[in-house]
């Protein structure tokens, strides 16, 4: 039997915060957990795990819950290149310092 994956502490804290944020969003809407679970197509015990930020719950289930709350769009932008300053900086560093045009391109022929 394979060993259970243990995420690093920072990842656990982030998923726990996501779960708490999901619970807060549900409560702000005045909806019971059972209704959101039903809309997301999951069981109520799984919904409890989501709201506790259980890192063993699949990202697909978190996405279904976010959709049930009308918050799915935020998930789509997490790793978007526009939200990745490190990746952007690395890409800029790889750009050539100079561009040399061939003689046929210089004359327009």
Name the residue among 50, 74, 70, 76 with its Cα closest to residue 62. Answer: 50
Neighbour tally for 103: CB within 10 Å: 7
If DSSP codes are grouped into helix, strand and coil, which group holds residue 43?
Answer: coil
Residues 66-99 have pLDDT tens digits of 999 999 998 888 888 887 788 777 776 676 777 7
DSSP 68-91: HTT-HHHHHTTT-GGG-HHHHHHH
0.85 exceeded by pTM: no
Give me Rg for the CA atoms of the chain: 22
The CATH code of the domain at 1-73 is 1.10.260.40
At residue 78, φ and ψ (nearest 5 deg) are -60, -50
Find all residues with CB under 8 Å of 42, minimum gap 6, and list them. 50, 61, 64, 65
Q: What is the pLDDT of residue 3?
A: 67
What average pLDDT does this structure show over 29-44?
98
Mean pLDDT of the chain: 88
């Amino acid at each position: 039997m394979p060993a259970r994956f243990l995420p690093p502490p920072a990842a656990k804290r982030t998923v726990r915060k996501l779960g708490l944020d999901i619970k807060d969003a549900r409560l702000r809407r005045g909806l019971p957990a059972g209704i959101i679970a039903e809309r997301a197509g999951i069981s109520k015990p799984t919904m409890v795990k989501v709201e506790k930020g259980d890192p063993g719950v699949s990202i697909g289930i978190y996405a279904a819950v976010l959709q049930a709350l009308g918050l799915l769009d935020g998930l789509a932008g997490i790793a978007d290149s526009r939200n990745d300053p490190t990746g952007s900086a690395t890409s800029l560093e790889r750009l050539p310092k100079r561009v040399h045009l061939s003689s046929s391109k210089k004359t327009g022929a």
